């Protein structure tokens, strides 16, 4: 038996007037997914406990069968693990975004105090990894010391490791405050000084000046959030008896997989946005199955990024690309093996276009089994309404994998 999970990050949404009162799932042309859903066990699942922040670390831990209330230590240490960073018990990892701050009207200037600036973009126009690496190195050169070290990651997502860091947890997530003035949302000292000093380092950096000349937003400040200590997860293979791999462009998801003893597969051109290498992810999954892996977890960040950026058309397209370039070729491959297989498709959490951030609602799921597909009554289309009407509800997301693997 082979098991495939396709995690469509943030794809769930609310009904949108511009889509005729439909959600992106309900609107998207996704024939392969819908054909499977018609023969799948479908329903709704809550991946994030009500008392926890609806972040991708908590939600993906649940989908991978780990209770986030027990195992979540913050997303940043998981990202650090993915980046190959060795953490000591005394170190705290922080996610370090490079963001765009500016005037409320969207223009960029530096003649106002830091706390009067507005969060224009949590991703600095999805800055390239190569550009951001130069900026993070400049920040580390000025703000790093024997206790603090800044490490470049992918696109706008980077890491700060801080030995004996001050104890403060209540950081504001930058993607929650797009379009808002940052005053009143800033951390205390010494964190605030790092923010302010980073602006002085970055505002005239050649990378940012060149980006602005091309009409792109500058990455003109760092923004810290989601601190945590070194994580530890029980082995996925020991838990389920399956050789497992994870495929993602996002350090957070790679880190969860590595901490769980899974193989993390890098895909050239995987970006974490709608321009990612969808086909390359499918090819990588097929290669993992061919080399003997029994469980493959494909994470696709694109719908989530489109939600954060309020890109409605692209959010619908991202769901369609996943269907055409990942679900269809992988289904065809698994059929061609002549062996039994199961496919689970779901988001981790909603990222509604209207909110531009994550929300807590339950999300639709489907579990297809080649062994009993003909006798399974599914839904006419994979979307929020049909899956809710199916009547199968899981209020603990970490229980859902048992339904897939053990039919429990």
Query: In sequence order, which residues have a C-beta less than 8 Å from that of residue 54 and are 6 or more positions away?
Result: 48, 349, 358, 359, 360
**Given strand 2-8, what is the order of strands in its sheet?**
263-265, 244-247, 295-300, 2-8, 341-346, 363-369, 41-45, 393-394
Please give the pLDDT value at position 222: 98
Domain boundaries, the chain: 2-73+232-406, 91-228
Contact 394, 44 (CB under 8 A): yes
Homologous superfamily (CATH) for 2-73+232-406: Alkaline Phosphatase, subunit A (3.40.720.10)
> What's the count of helices (H) and strands (E) in the chain, helices before strands?
16, 13
Helices marked H in 260-299: 278-290
Count Cβ atoms below 10 Å from residue 216 Cβ, excluding itself. Answer: 18
pLDDT under 70 in the chain at which residues? 375
Write down the pTM of the prediction: 0.81
Please give the pLDDT value at position 55: 87
Please give the pLDDT value at position 308: 93
């Amino acid at each position: 038996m082979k098991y495939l999970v396709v995690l469509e990050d943030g794809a769930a949404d609310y009904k949108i007037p511009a889509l005729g009162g439909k959600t992106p799932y309900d609107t998207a042309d996704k024939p392969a997914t819908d054909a499977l859903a018609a023969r799948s066990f479908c329903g709704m699942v809550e991946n994030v406990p009500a008392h926890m922040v609806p972040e991708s670390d908590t939600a993906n831990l649940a989908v991978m069968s780990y209770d986030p209330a027990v195992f979540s230590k913050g997303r940043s240490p998981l990202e650090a693990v993915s980046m190959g960073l060795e953490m000591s018990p005394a170190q705290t990892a922080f996610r370090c975004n490079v963001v765009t701050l500016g005037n409320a009207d969207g223009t960029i200037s530096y003649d106002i105090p830091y706390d009067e600036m507005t969060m224009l973009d949590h991703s600095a126009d999805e800055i390239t990894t190569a550009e951001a690496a130069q900026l993070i190195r400049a920040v580390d050169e000025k703000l790093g010391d024997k206790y603090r070290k800044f490490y470049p990651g992918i696109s706008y997502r980077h890491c700060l490791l801080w030995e004996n860091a001050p104890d403060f947890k209540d950081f504001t997530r930058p993607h929650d405050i797009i379009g808002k003035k940052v005053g009143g949302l800033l951390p205390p000292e010494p964190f605030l000084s790092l923010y302010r000093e980073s602006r002085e380092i970055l505002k005239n950096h050649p990378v940012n000046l060149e980006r602005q000349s091309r009409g792109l937003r500058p990455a003109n400040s760092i923004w810290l959030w989601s601190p945590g200590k070194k994580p530890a997860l029980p082995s996925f293979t020991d838990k389920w008896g399956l050789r497992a791999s994870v495929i993602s462009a996002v350090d957070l998801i790679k880190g969860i997989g590595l901490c769980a003893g899974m193989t993390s597969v890098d895909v050239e051109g995987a970006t974490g946005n709608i321009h990612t290498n969808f086909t390359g992810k499918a090819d990588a999954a097929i290669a993992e199955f061919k080399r003997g892996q029994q469980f493959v977890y494909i994470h696709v960040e694109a719908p989530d990024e489109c939600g954060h950026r309020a890109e409605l058309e692209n959010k619908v397209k991202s769901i369609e690309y996943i269907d055409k370039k990942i679900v269809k070729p992988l289904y065809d491959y698994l059929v061609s093996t002549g062996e039994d297989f199961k496919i689970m498709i779901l988001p981790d959490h909603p990222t509604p276009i209207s909110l531009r951030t994550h929300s807590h609602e339950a999300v639709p799921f489907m579990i297809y089994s080649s062994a009993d597909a003909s006798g399974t009554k599914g839904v006419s289309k994979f979307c929020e309404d049909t899956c809710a009407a199916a009547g199968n509800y899981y209020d603990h997301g970490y229980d859902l994998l048992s339904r897939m693997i053990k039919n429990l």
